[in-house]
Chain A
Amino acid sequence: MRIASPAIEVENLRKIYRVREGGSWRGRTREIVALDGISFAVPRGQIAGFIGPNGAGKSTAIKILSGILRPSSGLVRVGDLIPWENRIAHVARIGVVFGQRTQLWWDLSVGEGLALLRDIYGVEPDRFARNRARLADALDLHAIMDQSVRQLSLGQRMRAEIAAALIHDPEVLILDEPTIGLDAPSKLAVRAFVRDLRREQGTTVLLTTHDMHDIEALAERVIVIGHGRILADSPFEALRATTLSERRLEVDFIGTPPVFDLPPGAKETERDGRSVTITFDPRQIPAPALVAHLGALAGLDDLRIGRPAIEEIITRFYADHAS
């Protein structure tokens, strides 16, 4: 009987980097608090997304969970292993993709690389053949199996990288910025694959991104991280209901914009020459109604609707937490 313990447990995890400033000697050391006491647990079979701006501490957390970095303090269990203490046993059970690095061998073809990983992980021939066929179908690798990794486009390479991380059937898949730099079709392919993987294999997935769309497409669970702290940890729907629903409207007026009142749910956030930026909650005031409201006030030249950047959401979380 298997006890349904969480796939990943993290408790009060801290990581402080010490960097020397100035020359390599004589310089003072400066401390960078990359993780400032984070705690969370991911149940088996969940897709959890870490989201946060650059420098938030996402990769640091990923490296500790992967067993390649020791934390300054705190507790981590993946399965029932402490990653950095049982490195070899731990890494045999996980698959990791760092979006900005390659784990395949530049001089080899994709197929040769996978065969090498088979030997490294000791995957039995039957299982290897099955997994290779399944991954090649799902990630559309058949055409590039014999190409050398050096010649692949970024999108092709990322698909091959994901196959490489899964050839040994890991229980936990860790993806650090898997869609960074990819074109739109490749992003969609990666997202669709991860979703199916969860559904068909029950793999636990932890991914980091600073692309809101990744989270929207994939994660049932969102952990917002900023300055080394967890700012929010909630089901995706809950996050959507609060922060993510917010939209921004930028309006260019013909001539100087008038001073105006806005309907409930909308608020002016910036004014610069002829343009005014308004943030609004579409559930309280739908975009067409807001535009109609503005159009009645003065002549409009141009309109742009978008989402607040992730950095803005984080800033807002900070403001909320401070109060």
Chain B
Amino acid sequence: MKPRAYLTAFGLQWKIGLRYRIAVVAGLVAQMWFGAISLMAYAAVYHHAPDVGAPLTLRQAMTYTWLQQSLFTLLPLGCLPAVGDAARTGAIIYDLLRPVDLWNWWLSASLARLLGNAVPRAVLLACVAGPLAALAGLGAWSLAPPASPGAALLAAASFALGALLSATIVMLWNVMTARTLSPLGSYAIGTPLAVLLSGMLLPLPLYPEWARIVLVLQPFAGITDIPIRLYLGASLPGGPLGALGVQIFWLVAMTLGGRLWMRRIIDRLEVQGA
């Protein structure tokens, strides 16, 4: 109806995300640290068991780790902070007073928030772990470029879907927050789920073989794992198009289900006081 309003919501959260420059630097240092530790662990494992039959080469595992670390803030760890605050203070009733589609309104804001956090970090970390590391003579440990131009293209589309998928999962946390009038539950559930199931803790391709197919079919795989595997040109069950299909499936399913759920919650929302 009024795309301008949604752009505005996006712009506001994008600005807020960029405002925390110190957090960007601090996060970056932490992510470099975790990245480096993981790399050493992988190097040790691959060195002692060169033929574990892992679906990623050591070089690919390193690039996977750098990309994963650089995209940590793209994960749906909990609700949008603005929604959490509004629910806690009761100002959430003003969100219902706006002539906008509440789902798209919060979705735009959530997407902007994720991108505003993730993009600056990803660019910085990619520069440090990629060309800079290579120049410093750490080429063997660095972030490698995409496997091929085709892989780059697929990965770009998949990263875009991944960001949207993550924002859609954040929407589920937002609705949950509106339901309980507190953001805490969304963090308690969202953070462990996202960290574990996105492959942030251990890349999904490195799980035991029997678990791999299930892990790639669940929604959190679509956020960073699938795009990164396409970037690496690594094998995916169902091929690259099947992987994009998994992302699109979850996007559609969660949007439809989430919208229904939100309507129910909003109809019953009773903010006390004032």
Chain A residues within CB distance 8 Å of chain B: 17, 59, 63, 66-70, 84, 87-89, 91-92, 94, 96, 98-103, 105, 107-108, 116, 119-122, 176-177
The CA of A275 and the CA of B148, in the complex, are separated in Å by 95
B274 proximal to A (CB < 8 A): yes
B273 at the interface (CB under 8 A from A): yes
Q: Which residues of B contact A98 (CB under 8 A)?
A: 93-94, 274
A120 to B274, CA, bound (A): 24
- Complex Cα–Cα for A177 and B274 (A): 8
Binary contact readout B133-175 vs A (1 if CB under 8 angstroms, 0 otherwise): 0000000000000000000000000000000000000000000
Smallest beta-carbon distance A87→chain B, Å: 7
Complex CA distance for A70 and B267, rounded to whole angstroms: 7
CB pairs A–B below 8 angstroms (10 shown): A17-B270, A68-B269, A88-B1, A92-B99, A119-B4, A119-B7, A120-B99, A121-B99, A122-B4, A177-B274
CB neighbours of B94 from chain A (8 A): 96, 98, 101, 103
Shortest beta-carbon distance from A150 to chain B in Å: 13
- Closest chain A CB from B7 CB (angstroms): 8
Among the listed A68, A69, A89, A116, which residue makes an inter-chain contact with B8, where contact means beta carbons less than 8 Å apart? Answer: A116
Q: Which residue of A lies closest to B16 (CB)?
A: A107
Q: For chain B, which range describes its interface: under 10, 10 to 19, 20 to 34, or 35 or more residues?
A: 20 to 34
Q: How many angstroms between the C-alpha atoms of A59 and B7 in the bound complex?
A: 32
Instruction: List residues 62-119 of chain B with CB under 8 A from any CB of chain A.
Output: 89-91, 93-94, 96-101
Determine if A101 and B12 form an interchain contact, defined as CB atoms under 8 angstroms apart.
no
Chain B residue at smallest Cβ distance from A34:
B270
Within 8 Å of chain A (Cβ to Cβ): is B248?
no
Chain B residue with the shortest CB-CB distance to A122: B2
Contacts of B18 in A (CB 8 A): none
B246 CB within 8 Å of chain A: no
Chain A residues lying within 8 Å of B269, measured Cβ to Cβ, are: 68-69
Chain B, residue nearest A62 (CB): B274
- Cα distance A100–B271 when bound, in Å? 12
Q: Are B8 and A176 in contact (CB under 8 A)?
A: no
A165, chain B: closest CB distance, angstroms: 9
Determine if B5 is an interface residue (Cβ-Cβ < 8 Å): yes
How many angstroms from the CA of A87 to the CA of B273 in the assembled complex? Answer: 21
- Tell me which of A68, A102, A177 contacts B96 (CB under 8 A): A68
Bound: A73/B76 CA distance, A: 39
**Contact present for A91 and B93 (CB under 8 Å):** no
3 closest Cβ pairs, A-B complex: A92-B99, A119-B8, A100-B274
Residues of B with C-beta under 8 A to A121: 98-99
Contact partner, B97, options A17, A59, A68, A122, Cβ 8 Å = A68
Partner of A59, one of B98, B99, B267, B274: B274
Contact A88 B101 (CB under 8 A): yes
Closest residue of chain B to A115 (Cβ to Cβ) is: B8
Known: A68-B269, A101-B91, A107-B16. A120 touches B8 (CB 8 A): yes
Interface set, chain B 177-236, CB cutoff 8 A to A: none
